A and B are shown apart, each in its own frame.
Chain A
Amino acid sequence: MKTKQTFAIKGMHCASCVYTSEKALKTISGVTEAVVNLTTGKATLTSETPIEKNKIIDAVKSVGYQAMFPTYAKASVGKEETLDDKIKTEKIRELKDLKIKVIVSLFLSSFIVWGSFPGLMNTAPDIVKNMFYHFFLASIIQFWGAYDFYKATVSSLRHRIANMDTLVVIGTTVAYLYSTAVVFYPGFFERLNLKVEPYFDVSTVIIGLILLGRFLEAQAKAGTGEAIKKLIGLQAKTARVIRDKKEIDISIDEVVAGDLIRVRPGEKIPVDGVIVEGESAIDESMVTGESMPASKYKGDTVIGATMNKSGSFVYKATKVGKDTMLSQIIKLVEEAQGSKAPIQRLADIISSYFVPIVIMLAIATFVGWYVFIPSGGLVLAMLNSIAVLIIACPCAMGLATPTAIMVGTGIGAQHGILIKDAESLETAHKIKAIIFDKTGTLTKGQPEVTDVVITDSNARHRVFSTATPQRGPWRLSQKQVSSLLIFAASIEKHSEHPLGEAIVKKAEEEKLQLIKVNKFKSITGKGVEALVNGKKIYVGKLLKNLSIKEADRLKNQGKTVVYVYVEDKLAGLIAIADTVKETAREAVQQLQNLRINVFMITGDNKQTAQAIAVQVGIKKENVLAEVLPEEKEKKVKELQGREQKFLFRTKNTVAFVGDGINDAPALASADVGIAMGTGTDVAIEAAGITLVNKNLMSVVSAIKLSKQTMKTIKLNLFWAFAYNVVLIPVAMMGLISPILASGAMAISSISVITNSLFLKKAKII
């Protein structure tokens, strides 16, 4: 068993320190892996047996650093600042700073507006009208309020990059410098026949409103990443581990695979594992999205971070740390949020050229108004070019797609829908055809005995359907049914055929006592034979070619019929079928309502396939039966090429829903591969969307989620583009004042984020 030791290393300050210390740690004999993290200042050693602390301390010391071990007590309650905490503190500080700046800037600028706005200024006392007083207030806002804008502009200009801050800085600085010149050198402006009129109201209100926009934006943006925080918050902190026959509470980081863990009613299950003792009902909704608690018994798997409801049990940890289902889900969601949707490409290209182009347009506006428009002049030229700089909003374009993707993938995770990347989420809204694998996807994947037919002494057949137990005359032959099942199950216990398993399972369910058999023989392609209680019993295919009405009827229902012979005489039939999932019919119906063509694919014969199709509501012509596993991929491609629109053959967007284990090629070749109910192994490479639960309605939810997210993105992008395309020319024409421009700018990015947050209210179930 591998052990892991974590400790802090002091004295590291650069990337090469990491290398040196890792190298030093790896030289310790027994160490299989050494990972040093510069950010956290922590090292993790993996070894077969625990390494003595002194050896580690010496190794680290040899390269000039200091290894520090937490004491045991500290390790379990050790308070370490996680990235999440850091983000939180930084955001709180940022919001607090912004809040103060917004309030002060808007408060001070209101005095300038009061003292300079025509109509308003008549009501102001003289001091408020004084230009030097305006200059004083405006300077505070310009150099304290807008300090961060300047800082960001200076450092980005050094990299020859222009961004949002650059626009704000250029625009407000021009207004501020012009106004300052007016205040200190009024004579110069009089000589140019210009009014001695400063524009401090423009510079200060713009800064105030843009700061307000930033503040609201930062607040709203925090909401887009909430889902991940919630998922991380699900993690249990401690586990009650049984070591050396004693129960001890330890930190979750110290749990290793193989540990026995006790969970009491109402407690959170710390890591993934398998129950070894006891049983319980477990609420797994937070991970799988399945609202009904799941009953779990000995041998069943449990998922970390889910809630134990009723019973107390002991389980063996199988997956810990980053291997647990929750960690994999978090990783998957984080990765999806880091990916880019193809629809974003255009916005990306535009926003990378956007700001310099706006600067050029602003210069052109100035020149145009000064040179070509007779009524223009210096002041109008300046104000209009400032309006162009301020109204342009590249942020809205940059935020349109990622914020919606973040909210969308987050909602998905909360419902057990894991989206691999933004591209899958985007493609899913275009799905025109969906192919369901039959076994294990539409059906439960476990064959069950559905009917037992007894041949009575008059060679008549009497049916016992397990689905609808019959009453009346049937009771008389209950004994016969039991004995037939006992015979069949006793023999099938020795075969490994899945149909045999179903018979044995049925016998166990009925609590029937199986009998020892002799001379067991498997007849390839036929069935099995043995002596039971001295009688020759055969279970398998029909021996003589005769037509049995009951058998034909059952076969037409898609069931597999097994014949039981006693002493070479047909004693009865057992019908076995894979049962359809409860949610299948509704899911198929809803998908068809969404105008998606639903197909079913299976390796089974046409008869069986058709019977299942009828049960779930799939059209006859959409049944793809007798398809070998390796041909599934081919069928997907065939469907992709089927669509004919006018004169063009367009590619049909096809989704494939399978269990992800043997359907990998089909999942990968489909436009959207949907893997479902994959237990604790959620990271299916081939699938674009992984559904944690086995509920087929999740397929519908995933498609609805994609449609809603795309609707949000399209609206966001339309708004962001239309805003800039319409308002920049309007500002160039001098139809909008710089102050109004700053208000519009602030609103535009907030509205994009707010629209993304509305996704949370979307109905996907």
Chain B
Amino acid sequence: MDKILVLIFGLLSILFTYWYFFMKKINTVQAEGIVEILVDGGYKPEQISIPYGKTTKLIFHRKDSSSCLEEVVIADFKVRKFLPLNEKTEIEINPTKKGEFDFSCGMGMFHGKLIVK
């Protein structure tokens, strides 16, 4: 009996894990010239739409002391920047190509996305 319960519970947990981490909906935030991104256990907002050909200031506000999030990497724009804790770090981006560009922490564990339209 207990084995059946564990089996059912285990399968449900696996499904829940899949749903919780892989099926989340991400809202896209429209940025007009400037956007503040909270760095705390991830990036908030996670997905940002920025205009093509215009300079957008991304202001990363790091509140998370985890060293995992100490750096932000926007590889397509060749940015790797240290974010001092509890401070706002400004990164200017002027996209000259359209598309979706990933940004992440130094080790590629946390991700965010810039959508250039």
Contact = CB atoms under 8 A, between A and B. Distances in A.
Nearest to B40: A155
Interface stretch (A200-208, A359-367, A482-490, A740-748): A359-367
A160 B20 contact: yes
B115 to A, nearest CB: 17
Interface in A7-37: 14-16, 18-19, 37
Interface centre among A14, A19, A39 (most CB of B within 10 A): A39
Interface string B55-81: 001010000111110100111011111
B80 A334 contact: yes
Given A39-B87, A39-B90, A340 B75 contact: yes
Given A37-B90, A338-B73, A367-B10, A159 B42 contact: yes
B93 to A, nearest CB: 12
Interface in B66-113: 66-68, 70, 73-75, 77-82, 84-85, 87-90, 102, 104, 106-111
Interface stretch (A161-169, A242-250, A299-307): A161-169
A395 B90 contact: no
B34 A337 contact: no
Contacts of B66: 148, 151-152, 165
B8 to A, nearest CB: 9
A597 B7 CA distance: 63
Contacts, number: 149
Contacts of B22: 353, 356
Contacts of B33: 19
Contact of B36 (A14, A87, A163, A355): A14
A402 interface: yes
Nearest to B60: A39
Contacts of B6: 366-367, 370-371
Contact of B42 (A155, A335, A337, A348): A155
B10 A364 contact: yes
A344 B107 CA distance: 11
A87 B84 contact: yes
Interface in A168-217: 214
For this complex, into which size category does the number of interface residues on chain B fall?
35 or more
A161 B33 CA distance: 28
Interface string B12-32: 011001101110100000000
Interface centre among A86, A334, A367 (most CB of B within 10 A): A367
Contact of A398 (B59, B78, B109): B109
A16 B34 CA distance: 8
B59 A38 contact: yes
A398 B108 contact: yes
A402 B106 contact: yes
B53 interface: no
A339 B64 contact: no
B68 A83 contact: no
A153 B7 CA distance: 27
A156 interface: yes
B7 A371 contact: yes
Contacts of B43: 159
A339 B111 contact: no
Contacts of B41: 152-159, 161
Contacts of B14: 360, 363-364
A351 B10 contact: no
A148 B65 contact: yes
A412 interface: no
Contact of B84 (A83, A161, A370): A83
For this complex, into which size category does the number of interface residues on chain A fall?
35 or more
Contacts of A337: 80
B88 A394 contact: no
A39 to B, nearest CB: 5
Contacts of A86: 82, 84, 87
Nearest to B6: A370
Contacts of A367: 6-7, 10-11
A363 B10 contact: yes
Nearest to A351: B108
Contacts of B59: 15, 38
Contacts of A360: 14, 17-18
Given A163-B68, A364-B14, A367-B7, A399 B107 contact: yes
Contact of A339 (B21, B67, B75): B75
Contact of A421 (B10, B78, B110): B78
A218 B42 contact: no
B68 A152 contact: yes
B88 A159 contact: no
Given A356-B17, A356-B22, A363-B14, A87 B82 contact: yes
Given A87-B84, A156-B110, A15 B40 contact: no
B78 A335 contact: yes
A158 B64 CA distance: 13
A587 interface: no
Given A39-B88, A360-B18, A160 B107 contact: no
A532 B64 CA distance: 83
Nearest to B7: A371
A470 interface: no
A90 interface: yes
Nearest to B85: A90
Given A19-B34, A152-B41, A367-B7, A38 B90 contact: yes
Nearest to A354: B109
Interface string A457-486: 000000000000000000000000000000
A94 interface: yes
Given A163-B68, A340-B75, A363-B14, A83 B82 contact: yes
A165 B22 CA distance: 18
Contact of B65 (A151, A162, A351): A151
Interface in A300-342: 334-340
Given A156-B41, A164-B68, A371-B6, A38 B88 contact: yes
A37 B66 CA distance: 25
A352 B109 CA distance: 6
Interface of A: 14-16, 18-19, 37-39, 83, 86-87, 90, 94, 148, 151-165, 214, 218, 334-340, 344, 347-348, 351-353, 355-356, 359-360, 363-364, 366-367, 370-371, 394-395, 397-399, 402, 421
Interface of B: 3, 6-7, 10-11, 13-14, 17-18, 20-22, 24, 33-36, 40-44, 46, 57, 59, 64-68, 70, 73-75, 77-82, 84-85, 87-90, 102, 104, 106-111
13 contacts: A14-B36, A15-B57, A15-B88, A151-B64, A158-B42, A159-B43, A338-B75, A338-B81, A339-B75, A352-B108, A355-B21, A363-B13, A394-B109
Given A19-B33, A364-B14, 6 more contacts: A15-B34, A155-B41, A334-B80, A335-B79, A363-B13, A398-B108
